[in-house]
Structures are given as C-alpha cells and as structure tokens.
C-alpha cells in the first residue's frame, strides 16, 4: 500500500505497539525498534508490516449489543455509541446502520446480520473500510461500491458477517449533497 500516512496514523500504530508490549507480546527491544519505524513510516504498507504479527482486537461477550425486530425496521443513526460487536436480527423488516455521526471508540467493529425477508444498508464515514466476505445472501447480493475492504491502520474497519435469506446488503459512504456550501 503506497498511500502516504498521517501523523495520526503513526500515533495509532504506536499505541497499538505499546498495548502489545503491555500484554507481553513484544520485548523492550522489539518495541523500541518498531516504535522508531512507526514514527518514521511513510506509507500504510510500512505501518502494516509492524503490526501484522499482532492479534487484532477481538470483541468480548460484554462488548456485544443485540438489536432485533420481527415486523419492523431496525435503524440506528445520528449520535449513538457503537459497540465492538453488533448482532442484528430482523425477520420481516430492513436494517439501516448509519455510522457517519456515531461515536466509535474501537478500530474494528463486527456487525453480525441475521435477516430473513429484509435487506440491510450500512453507511460508513468517509475513509472507513468494510469487509463483507463473511456475509451470505441466498436471494440477494452484497454491494460495496467504492468502499475498500482491506484494513488500514488508523481507519475504522467494519467486518460484516451473517446471512440474509431473501434480501441483500449495501455498504456505502454518505451521499453527496447538492447545492450546499
């Protein structure tokens, strides 16, 4: 990945390395070496090389929020707290999760969908990535137009898993507004 990184990206990677050291995954010498490389990194590829052998944040059961409906739609938008893992079940309604104004303290969010007759729409903040490889649809298809799926340091990554029997999945960025200043 040849895209250049920002100071914020370097700082997030440094925090991840320090956390790995605190957990005993890195020695003092490894930490110092990797921190120096992180703070002088120029591209995302340079940063990814420093953390690929470290475990990704996995949600704990206490970090799971379950939403469900049998006959109505499930919608979350505006200013809401996003957990590490979100389980959404809907039998006859659709699901809309809008992350653009949400408070998201975690770098990785897992969304587990269980849909029978409805579809799901996930709206991401600009620059976020989404991986839908773990989502299956019997009668629809997942659509991630213009949304990259490869994780990048310092950027929200939404992992979508689950199943839809008679519905699809759309993951997109917010629509551009016309005639606004």
Q: Tens digits of per-residue pLDDT, 117-147?
A: 889 999 999 999 999 988 988 887 777 778 9
User: Which tokens hold the place of 115?
Assistant: 């849909």
How many independent structural domains does the chain possess? 2
Task: Specify the pLDDT at position 20.
Answer: 87
Q: Quick one: which of 103, 105, 144, 152 has its CA closest to 127? A: 152
Q: Inform me whether the pLDDT recorded for 61 exceeds 50.
A: no
This model's pTM is above 0.85: no
Examine the domain organization and report whether 88 and 148 are in the same domain. Answer: yes
Same domain, 105 and 128: yes
Q: What is the pLDDT of residue 180?
A: 58
Q: Is residue 2 part of a domain?
A: no
Q: Which domain holds residue 29?
A: 7-51
pLDDT in tens, 147-181: 988 888 888 999 999 999 988 899 999 987 776 55
């Amino acid at each position: 990945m040849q895209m250049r990184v920002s100071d914020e990206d370097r700082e997030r990677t440094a925090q991840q390395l320090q956390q790995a050291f605190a957990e005993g995954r890195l020695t003092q010498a490894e930490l110092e070496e990797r921190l120096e490389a992180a703070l002088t990194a120029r591209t995302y590829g340079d940063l990814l090389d420093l953390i690929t052998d470290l475990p990704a944040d996995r949600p704990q059961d206490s970090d799971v929020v379950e939403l469900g409906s049998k006959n109505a739609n499930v919608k979350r938008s505006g200013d809401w707290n996003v957990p590490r893992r979100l389980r959404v079940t809907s039998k006859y309604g659709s699901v809309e999760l809008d992350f653009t104004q949400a408070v998201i303290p975690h770098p990785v969010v897992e969304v587990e969908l269980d849909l029978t007759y409805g579809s799901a729409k996930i709206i991401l903040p600009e620059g976020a990535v989404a991986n839908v490889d773990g989502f299956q649809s019997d009668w629809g298809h997942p659509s991630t137009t213009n949304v990259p799926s490869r994780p990048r340091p310092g950027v929200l990554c939404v992992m979508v898993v689950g199943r839809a029997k008679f519905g699809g999945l759309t993951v997109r960025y917010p629509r551009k507004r016309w005639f606004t200043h």
